[in-house]
């Protein structure tokens, strides 16, 4: 699937995920804006069960976020 760094999920990936019945999705992001955008595209079928920031680069202002999405069904 065409995934670009920092760009979040490509529309084709979102369409594929929504066409399946995955129980859980693990989403790792270094860009909270694209995480939010992608969440809005997935929220009809998935909710965020866990959202956790990780400071992997302690001497910078950057952090990673891991979101665990659960299927609403």
**Catalytic residue list:** 30
Taking the C-alpha atoms of residue 41 and residue 7, their distance in angstroms, rounded to an integer, is 14
């Amino acid at each position: 699937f065409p995934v670009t760094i920092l760009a979040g999920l490509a529309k084709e990936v979102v369409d594929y995920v929504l066409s399946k019945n995955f129980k859980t999705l693990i989403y790792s992001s270094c860009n909270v804006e694209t995480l939010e955008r992608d969440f809005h595209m997935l929220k009809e079928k998935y909710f965020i069960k866990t959202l956790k920031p990780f400071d992997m680069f302690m001497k910078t202002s950057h952090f990673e976020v891991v979101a665990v999405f659960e299927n609403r069904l």
